[in-house]
Each structure stands twice: as C-alpha cells, then as structure tokens.
Structure 1
C-alpha cells in the first residue's frame, strides 16, 4: 500500500497543495491521516478519490457540487465524461485513474476512440507519450506498483503490435534496412516498438529483435541478411555496461552497419569522429532523419 504526502498528491492530480487543504477543511473531500508528529499523509483510496474530483472539477463542475456527491456518483460521472470528452487534461486524468484501478475497459475505450478520430500515430504522439511521462512519475513516487505499471504497459504494447501487424508488408527497392534491438538490461521496449511502427508505416524494412539482445546475436543477424542501420536506446537506467564499450563492440562485430543511438545516456557521449555512429536526441530528430532517407 502506497503512502503519499500532500506534495505527491499535488504532482499526481494537478491540484495545488493549498487548494487541497482548503477542500479538506471546507468540504471534507478527503480526510488525511496524520503521523505522530502531525504531518499529513494519504493512502491509495484518497488518491483515487482526488483523481475523480480533479477530473470533474477540470470539466466545469463546482467543488461544492462534487462534495455533495457520493463516491459511486462521482465515479459514474467520471465514466460519463471520460467517454465523451477528448480534451488532453481529461484524457490524462482518466488514463491515470484507469491505471490506478487496473481498468482495461476504461483505458482501451479512451485509446481506441482517439485512434478512430486521430489515427494511430497521432494518438501515440499526442496522448500515449504524455501519459507515459506521467506514468513514470507515478512509478517513481510509488503511486503505482510494479503490477499496475506492467498491466498498463502490456496494454499499450498489445496495441502497438496490433497496429504494426495491420500495416502492409512492403519494402521499397534499395531502401535501407533497420534492425531494432535493446541491449541486456535496457527496458524501453514501448519506445522501440513505436519506432518500429513508424519505420514500417513509412515503408522501410525492419528486423525487430526486441530486448536483451547480445552483440553476438547482432553479428549473426548481419551475417544472415543485409542490415544498414542498427537502432537502440540507452536510457538513464541502463547500467549493464558502459555505453562506449557496447558501441565499440557492435561496430567491431557488425562492420557494415551504421549504429543509431537514442536515449538519455546516448546524448551524453560524443561520437562525432565516427561516421558509423549517429546519436538522435529524440523522436522528432529520428523522424527527420528517416524522412531524409526516404
């Protein structure tokens, strides 16, 4: 069971701490617990209730009206708003609540509606990626546990794979071939899957190897088929080996491929003197690079 300070709730709900205190005193929206030294703290159910309150309040309902509703009535109104409102704040709050409650129906309803209206690529860029940023904060502060994080990550993973499988298996003549992988210990698979989707949508040929791929495996792949670009990610959590050591080993064992790197740790290194290494600082730069190739 997670325990939250009032500053944690401020970050997670978007409601200022001063406003939370005022709501507590005036409307008894929630009642904080207190430590022996009289410091406020909150529990999981408090977070759920405040997420509902925040969503209703952001959609124009006065706090006095919200306070008069029962918990079931609030939840019912939240479900109604989430199903018809496509504003970014509403969706982010609703997706967060579906994660806390592990509600697959609510999560899929919001994402699928966006896909229908915006298309898959825009939905991931404008809805899912901002949500993943908030999900990282939820995980970092202990607001969600590993089971909740795995639950929602696998829902997103399934949707990306389904969208990728729906693309026609086309390959342009003389177009570059990309091999996508994650080294041992790197866990940014959702980002890798999305890059694979973007490349396939732009009709490039891709070889998706996934996570925990060793250099020997990459060498075998380059011997089996022509690979022009190896693409991988080094996040700030990657500690399996020094980035420079991995790059040197890949270049030695895959002499005909160019290595594309992204992620926080990749941007900390300067490979400017090596024509076979390119660092792309983010998704936008990656898309520009791919567009120039096309």
Structure 2
C-alpha cells in the first residue's frame, strides 16, 4: 500500500467508519495525515493504516480507547515488508544460499541474523523481508521451487528451535492455518513472538480441516485462536473457520496477514508482528485470561 490514501479508502481498509477514524485522529493523535496544499484533503500512508488496524484490534479486544491509543503510540513504527521495501544486497543473502543449496552458508546467515538482536526484531525487520525477496526471486524464475523449499525448510527449523526455547505461561492461545492454506512461516513466526511474551501457545500448523478445528476447540478450550489470511483465496476459508470456532465456543478469534481486513466478523491484527502480539497480550489481560 502506498502513500496518498484518502480517508474513505483508509476507513474501508481498516474496517471502521470515517467518523471513528476522525475521532481517533482528533482525540488521540493516532495518525497525523498530510493535507494537500491545493485541496486540503487528508492523505494517509501504509504506516497510518497499520496503526489504525492496531488501534481497532485493541479496542475490539476490550481495551479502552484511551489506553489503546497509548499502546499504539508506544509501538515502534512498522517498516513493512512489501516488495517495494526489499533492498538488494540486504535481503538477498537467503537467495544466494538457496541458489547453491549451500546448507552451511544458510545456517551461518541465520546464526548471524538471530545473534544481532531480539528474535522479534529479526523476524519482523530482516527475516520476513528476506523471505519476500526469496518469493520474488522464485516468481521471476531466478530461484527454483526446490531451492525455495530448501530455504523455507531451514527457516522453519530455526523458528521451531526458537519456539521450543521460549518458556510458556498463560493463557492458552492456538495458532494455525485454515483449510487449504499452506503459507505457515508467518504463523510459526508469530507463535514464536507470542510464546516469548509468556503465552501458552499451541502451534497447530497448516491446512487444518474444519472438523479438526472444532475438535481442537472442544478438547483444548482455548480462549484465543489466531489464524492467517495471506492470500485472497484464504478469506473464505478463514470465515468458515471462524464459524466453526464460534459454534465451539471460542470467545476470541484473530486474523493476521495482508488480507485479514477482508474477513468477516473477525479481529484483524496489525501487520507488525510485535504490535499484533501486543494486541493478544492486552486482550488476555483485560479479559482476565491470564
């Protein structure tokens, strides 16, 4: 999403009325749009959209608006990981390692990256943009399917190690993908972020049939379930999963990913994983699930 969005476009993308957007802007200073000199129209950026999604998710979780505004204000701005943000030479190390099926180089790259900072920051600001670069290389025919899978498998192993190393607490949160959805790296990465915040995360994996979602909800009784709408085709599957979980008595259902706002009657998480994790933590707190 690029700069220059009008207020109506932003409101539709975030899923709130324009009156609510104006109220949050005026009362809490959540965003500061740029006004054009010629027309005076408000102009918003992709970062503004994500901050508003963050605010909406917190409020829908039960956090009072004034408290939610403070949380959003304290959150670090999200740089995004769209293709326009991929910087050659910065995010292409995984491509080179994948091209040559160089396992030792790939391990060294991941070791160096995750030793440079907190896993949440590395995931959000290096890993996901780098994987986006890998995906672009595959789309352009610069990387084979086997090479792309080779890189993805190494990343999944590393994220699994990070998940296992983080202590779990409360409440129980289930993270998994709806039927026919296979892009599980973002979901596992988010599970790592949640587990490092002290939550008891059950990572259920990809392509979970509706009957399995219903059984999981009945047997585990999670208070919070998180899934992902990475592709447009995922939206219908997410909505069906929501219906199954609602029927099973799950009180809170959250959706992350680029198409989260397209889903119905769900709480769309901000694109920033650290901000999204904060939404889940705050929801658990205000609802007494900790």
Is the structural similarity TM-score above 0.5?
yes
Establish whether residue 211 from structure 1 lines up as the match of residue 206 from structure 2.
Answer: yes
User: Matched residues in 2 for 1:244 and 1:232: separation?
Assistant: 10
Establish whether residue 259 from structure 1 lines up as the match of residue 253 from structure 2.
Answer: yes
Establish whether residue 278 from structure 1 lines up as the match of residue 267 from structure 2.
Answer: yes
Note the C-alpha offset of 1:243: 4.3
Q: Contact 1:189–1:210 (CA<8 Å) still a contact in 2?
A: yes
Per the alignment, do residues 196 and 269 of structure 1 end up closer, same or farther by CA in structure 2, a change over 3 Å counting? Answer: closer
Partner residue of 1:162? 161
Q: Contact 1:91–1:110 (CA<8 Å) still a contact in 2?
A: no
Deviations 1:126-162 (A, max 9, x none): 2211101111211222221210110000000000001
Note the C-alpha offset of 1:209: 1.1
Partner residue of 1:118? 117
Partner residue of 1:137? 136
Note the C-alpha offset of 1:221: 1.6
Per the alignment, do residues 256 and 124 of structure 1 end up closer, same or farther by CA in structure 2, a change over 3 Å counting? Answer: closer
Structure 1 gaps, min length 5: 1-87, 272-276
User: Matched residues in 2 for 1:182 and 1:241: separation?
Assistant: 12
User: Matched residues in 1 for 2:226 and 2:145: separation?
Assistant: 27
Establish whether residue 290 from structure 1 lines up as the match of residue 280 from structure 2.
Answer: yes
Per the alignment, do residues 224 and 93 of structure 1 end up closer, same or farther by CA in structure 2, a change over 3 Å counting? Answer: closer
- Between Structure 1 and Structure 2, how many residues are aligned? 197
| Counterpart secondary structure, 2:254 | strand
User: Matched residues in 1 for 2:95 and 2:237: separation?
Assistant: 35
User: Matched residues in 1 for 2:237 and 2:254: separation?
Assistant: 16
Establish whether residue 106 from structure 1 lines up as the match of residue 101 from structure 2.
Answer: no
Q: Contact 1:179–1:229 (CA<8 Å) still a contact in 2?
A: yes
Per the alignment, do residues 269 and 146 of structure 1 end up closer, same or farther by CA in structure 2, a change over 3 Å counting? Answer: same
Q: TM-score, normalised by structure 2?
A: 0.61
Q: Contact 1:185–1:240 (CA<8 Å) still a contact in 2?
A: no
Q: Contact 1:99–1:148 (CA<8 Å) still a contact in 2?
A: yes
User: Matched residues in 2 for 1:284 and 1:115: separation?
Assistant: 16
CA RMSD of aligned residues (A): 2.3
Deviates more, 1:109-118 or 1:127-136: 109-118
Note the C-alpha offset of 1:265: 2.9
User: Matched residues in 2 for 1:228 and 1:289: separation?
Assistant: 14
Deviates more, 1:213-222 or 1:282-291: 282-291
Note the C-alpha offset of 1:111: 1.7
Partner residue of 2:16? none
Q: Contact 2:95–2:143 (CA<8 Å) still a contact in 1?
A: no
Note the C-alpha offset of 1:116: 2.2
Q: Contact 2:227–2:238 (CA<8 Å) still a contact in 1?
A: no
Per the alignment, do residues 255 and 266 of structure 1 end up closer, same or farther by CA in structure 2, a change over 3 Å counting? Answer: same
User: Matched residues in 2 for 1:263 and 1:93: separation?
Assistant: 23
Q: How does 1:78-97 map to 2 (within 5 A)?
A: 90-97=89-96
